[in-house]
Structure 1
Amino acid sequence: MKKAITVALAGNPNVGKTTLFNTLTGSRQHVGNWPGVTVEKKEGIREYSGRTIEVTDLPGTYSLTAYSADEVVARNFIIEDRPDVVVQVVDASNLERNLYLTMQLAELGRPVIIALNMVDVAEGRGDTIDEKRLAELLAMPVIRTVGTSGEGLLDLLDAVVAIAAKGEKHTHTIGYGDDAEALISDLVGILDDDPDLAPRYPLRWLAVRLIEGDADIRRVVSGSSVGDAVSARLADIDFDEYEATLADKRYEAIGAILPQACTICVRKMTGSDMIDRVVTNKYLGIPIFLALMWGAFQLTFAVAEPFMAGIEYIFGWLGEGVAASVGPEWLASLLGDGVIGGVGGVLVFVPNIFILFLILSILEGSGYLARGAFIMDRLMYAIGLPGKSFIPMLMGFGCNVPAIMSTRTIEDERDRLITILVNPFISCGARLPVYILFAGVFFGRDAGNVIFGMYILGILVAILSAKLFRSTVLPGESSPFIMEMPPYRIPTLKNALLNMWEKGSTYLKKAGGIILIGSLIVWFLASYPAGVGYGSEESFAGMIGKFVEPLVAPLGLDWKIAVALIFGFVAKEIVVSSLGVLYGAEEGSAALSDALLADPALSAAGALAVMVFVLLYMPCVATLAVIKKETGSWRWAGFSVLYGLVVAWSLAFVTFHVAGFFLGGA
């Protein structure tokens, strides 16, 4: 059996790399983290021409200079894991910027293929690219591709199989000028004396990285037998000057290549330019962004409602069947109230979550979400939130855990710490079931507006908290935010569905694991000690709730809500499953929503207070653990808990009393 071909998929952000990866691997892919690094790792498999092709999607990066964790991961995978082929996905409409990464990849001594992607966009705006001439000048294959349609995909796979069979390395190098080349030559001679370095690294590449001041490479070399000799040779050089010189030489090489392979016609205003004049307008940008987000939540609620009703009916039917046919009574209660009432109370919101993720995936695939980051950055930078933090904040709408992990791309430690501390206020998908439950029960047709308001409140609290931290515990100037706007594209349904499933399936796994366990624990606490009424104040759950009730009573909440909030510390979805358990027996086969509406202790103002408290109070266990890991201190993790509780209680108190004035119930 032939060995699998390993392929590394590299490229700048927003070049269509993820789309091409999805088209290549389809559903045969999985996501995890790189060992020892909190950077997402995507891998997939493609069977082609009798060979198994294992594709690893490297983090998007503009260079291999290793200023961030993403760049280190991409570079180290190519150097240390030695893939058979490196496929660089290049945006054909931005060749000059993309070819800078090509110049660096060529120095790594691995077989490289250029996937000249989005050719349709380039040609649509008047560019003519001679890929055969470009291949000659770069000394590597260049394949035209359109990731969204699959055009050129088979040609790319043919090239991968052919190059892997030959095992050829591309050793295209750039002349960096007499002074730099003399220094590189000296360093190569010194490095060659260490028998461990040469088999692991291309020595010329090591020398180039050393004179550019790469801290990671200097650590590698300093631990070798030639470390002292290398340090002595580099003792008197200006690293910044050499880095600038080498970058200039790369751009000179690109400048010499482009006119021979690409004819760039007179630029016309593109469709993307015309749309951006409106959606990124200084005055219109934020209202348009907020209107689209509001529409997304309205559509989510409207489309999901019949599906929710169907799931609720199924679980109601199951609950009645268990109550009527299962014995003894404790087992019927365990299955009906604990499992069906708890997990079913959470699964009923699956349609909302999947629909919202689908809408956000479509917006992301179209290129608009990048504009959202740009639009909101102006406001956030003005009040002290680090500009680079918006991408982790955006990720927080899915889950705060990977969002906090992604802050490793922020170089300034104070900027990074502020982003970590305010990220838990961004409303993750786990909170959505709580909003849907209470907004749907108490606000009817206005539920979408109320849920949208929760997301806006989370953003405002994050922004104001960042301003507070910037002016008190972490003073200083916030770093600027630089990003490239991708062209607008028509998103493909396949990629949107894959993205939706990748994010939504995490919710399903929670329901099958941690939420089930949490529901069973709540059932036990609500059922015992033996002889007390299920869910009564004499149960263990009632005792815990009554002990905590004085703290939440000023918010218009009773002991049952208090118990649910305590268990919500494990995972926010458990708030709903706990309520499903605690309310289930009292209303027989009635849905949780009916039970909440019938509870005289709960009002519309109290429902708003619950949503505000769940939005802002302490991070879940997983988020708290990653805060500790990323900050390296339980002190900041504890601060996050205490600060969140104070903010949550204060705003929930204000919400309850202000809303009570208008809605009644305070």
Structure 2
Amino acid sequence: MINSTLWGLLFTLSVFGGIFASLLYMGGWLQDALGGYFEGLLKAIQPWLSGQSYLVRLVVENALVGLSAGISVAVPYVGIFYIILALLEDSGILARFIVVLDRLMGKLGLPGKAVIPIMLGFGCTVPAIRATRVLPNFRDRLKVAILYMTVPCSSRSGIIFGVVGHYTGAVYAIGIYVAAFFVFIITAKLLNVVIPQEEHFLIEELPPYRRPLLRNMLVKAWVRMADFVYVVIPLLIAGGMVYGVVAYYNLVEPIVGPFRFLTVGWLHIPEETIIPLVYGFLQKDLVPAMLANALGTTDFSSVMTPLQLFTFGLASTFQIPCIIAFSMLVREFGIKRAVAIEVATLAYGMLWAGLIARLVSLLL
């Protein structure tokens, strides 16, 4: 007989499998549709652009390329994820994930309630950092905050599926999650040596199973997506325009050159990719847009190999949180600890990205 814990684990894994499939296939279909719309828009304004100065053409084209890549990648995957998250919350399934994963958390030196902020981290790191307050002591809160570098938020999931999965296939996209899982375990074990755990017991109220209402799910998803519409979209346009000006004045090489040791030397990806990686600190949703600007195309597979796209996905995942999440780290843990977390996780994440990429290259 299979015990209830194993059944719960199998159910949890099957739900996560369904989430991945929905993001990969439904998100991919929406990405193609939105991308095709923006390609048509760009072609439609070419006659007008041809009569403008070179600077105006660069600025407008890069603004549209950035907007196209940002919306066609971020909206499908982030939007679908938030709808699924609302479904899990309203149906009562999410609370049961916490109970199922409690034993795993204990083996990693974390309290069972650490599942709550970690699960929230798959949506957005900002509220997840604040949610560490449910943990019983400061040491556990600090450990979970560090571990967020291995927890792909919805924006990073958009990069994984929209950039990596869409152009290289499901195996590479899922491979990033598998890599993140193992790095999460190794990092948690290391942190448990440095910051030992105190013994805790999980007490969690399980709500009854309910039939979720579509309207409530959509409202929840929209509330979580509102920041993207009102904050990120203007940044997508502004980021593209800034890159157009940078390209016009031939400033790209002076900017990317000093980071060749990281991009070309360690990660083996094009030197221009440092631009979207840096922009990721402002907002992770900007990464696909700025990658398109930096490479001059939204067809990433035409200028990067599958392994390079995979490595870029790793570097984008094992990266410091965005600037809003950093401000939350400062608020919760103080400026010194926040800076230490940012610097340490950046170096640690890039180390893992390069190591995993080399391991995968040996297996191909």
Superposition deviation, residue 441 in structure 1: 4.5
Q: How does 1:500-515 map to 2 (within 5 A)?
A: 500-515=221-236
CA distance in 2, matches of 1:424, 1:509: 26
Superposition deviation, residue 560 in structure 1: 1.1
Q: How does 1:195-234 map to 2 (within 5 A)?
A: none
Contact 1:570/1:621 (8 A) holds in 2? yes
Contact 1:392/1:406 (8 A) holds in 2? yes
Contact 1:567/1:578 (8 A) holds in 2? yes
Contact 1:613/1:649 (8 A) holds in 2? yes
The answer for the alignment partner of 2:13 in structure 1 is 290
TM-score by length of 2: 0.91
The answer for the alignment partner of 1:649 in structure 2 is 350
Of 119, 122, 126, the match for 1:394: 119
Contact 1:388/1:410 (8 A) holds in 2? yes
The answer for the alignment partner of 1:454 in structure 2 is 176
Is 1:467 the counterpart of 2:189 in the alignment? yes
CA distance in 2, matches of 1:451, 1:373: 25
Is 1:549 the counterpart of 2:260 in the alignment? yes
Deviations 1:374-416 (A, max 9, x none): 1112101122012222111111111101110122233412122
Contact 2:28/2:162 (8 A) holds in 1? no
Q: 1:348 is matched by which residue type in structure 2?
A: S
CA distance in 2, matches of 1:556, 1:441: 21
Contact 2:81/2:154 (8 A) holds in 1? no
CA distance in 1, matches of 2:172, 2:89: 24
Contact 1:385/1:467 (8 A) holds in 2? no
Contact 2:23/2:161 (8 A) holds in 1? no
Of 337, 345, 350, the match for 1:636: 337
Superposition deviation, residue 459 in structure 1: 4.2
CA distance in 1, matches of 2:133, 2:90: 24
Is 1:622 the counterpart of 2:333 in the alignment? no
Deviations 1:538-564 (A, max 9, x none): x21222112211222221212111222
CA distance in 2, matches of 1:604, 1:460: 21
Q: How does 1:166-205 map to 2 (within 5 A)?
A: none
CA gap 1:375/1:456 in 2 versus in 1, 3 angstroms = farther
Superposition deviation, residue 659 in structure 1: 1.8
Superposition deviation, residue 333 in structure 1: 2.0
CA distance in 2, matches of 1:437, 1:496: 23
CA gap 1:468/1:440 in 2 versus in 1, 3 angstroms = closer
Contact 1:387/1:480 (8 A) holds in 2? yes
Is 1:562 the counterpart of 2:258 in the alignment? no
The answer for the alignment partner of 2:39 in structure 1 is 316
**Structure 1 or 2: more strand by fraction:** 1
Superposition deviation, residue 478 in structure 1: 4.5
CA distance in 2, matches of 1:324, 1:479: 67
Superposition deviation, residue 295 in structure 1: 1.5
Gap runs ≥5 in structure 2:
none
Of 496, 502, 506, the match for 2:217: 496
Contact 1:546/1:559 (8 A) holds in 2? yes
Partner of 1:283, secondary structure, is helix
CA distance in 1, matches of 2:222, 2:177: 22
CA gap 1:575/1:641 in 2 versus in 1, 3 angstroms = same
CA distance in 2, matches of 1:426, 1:468: 16
CA distance in 2, matches of 1:616, 1:491: 34
CA distance in 2, matches of 1:453, 1:358: 24
CA distance in 2, matches of 1:527, 1:564: 18
CA gap 1:401/1:506 in 2 versus in 1, 3 angstroms = same
CA distance in 2, matches of 1:313, 1:476: 51
CA gap 1:463/1:661 in 2 versus in 1, 3 angstroms = closer
Is 1:354 the counterpart of 2:79 in the alignment? yes
The answer for the alignment partner of 1:237 in structure 2 is none
Deviations 1:518-541 (A, max 9, x none): 33222222221xxxxxxxxxx212
Contact 2:165/2:173 (8 A) holds in 1? no
**Structure 1 or 2: more helix by fraction:** 2
Partner of 2:196, secondary structure, is coil
CA distance in 2, matches of 1:400, 1:302: 25
Superposition deviation, residue 362 in structure 1: 1.2
Deviations 1:275-294 (A, max 9, x none): xx98x822232232122112
Superposition deviation, residue 348 in structure 1: 0.2
CA distance in 2, matches of 1:653, 1:662: 15
Of 302, 316, 319, the match for 1:598: 302
The answer for the alignment partner of 1:432 in structure 2 is 157
Partner of 1:646, secondary structure, is helix
Contact 1:322/1:335 (8 A) holds in 2? no
Contact 1:568/1:575 (8 A) holds in 2? yes
Deviations 1:116-162 (A, max 9, x none): xxxxxxxxxxxxxxxxxxxxxxxxxxxxxxxxxxxxxxxxxxxxxxx
Q: Which moved more, 1:517-526 or 1:571-580?
A: 517-526
Structure of higher CA gyration radius? 1
TM-score by length of 1: 0.51
Contact 1:431/1:614 (8 A) holds in 2? yes
Deviations 1:33-61 (A, max 9, x none): xxxxxxxxxxxxxxxxxxxxxxxxxxxxx
The answer for the alignment partner of 1:306 in structure 2 is 29
CA distance in 2, matches of 1:575, 1:392: 24
CA gap 1:428/1:348 in 2 versus in 1, 3 angstroms = same
CA distance in 1, matches of 2:139, 2:307: 38
Is 1:520 the counterpart of 2:234 in the alignment? no
Of 129, 134, 137, the match for 1:412: 137
Deviations 1:466-511 (A, max 9, x none): 3322211x22414332201111111111111111111222222333
Percent identity over the alignment?
25
Partner of 1:523, secondary structure, is helix
CA distance in 1, matches of 2:310, 2:291: 16
Partner of 2:5, secondary structure, is coil
Is 1:480 the counterpart of 2:205 in the alignment? no
The answer for the alignment partner of 2:359 in structure 1 is 658
The answer for the alignment partner of 1:583 in structure 2 is 295
Question: RCO higher in 1 or 2 (8 Å CA, sep ≥ 6)?
Answer: 2
Deviations 1:204-233 (A, max 9, x none): xxxxxxxxxxxxxxxxxxxxxxxxxxxxxx
Q: How does 1:270-281 map to 2 (within 5 A)?
A: 281=4
Of 168, 177, 180, the match for 1:443: 168
The answer for the alignment partner of 1:154 in structure 2 is none
Is 1:572 the counterpart of 2:284 in the alignment? yes
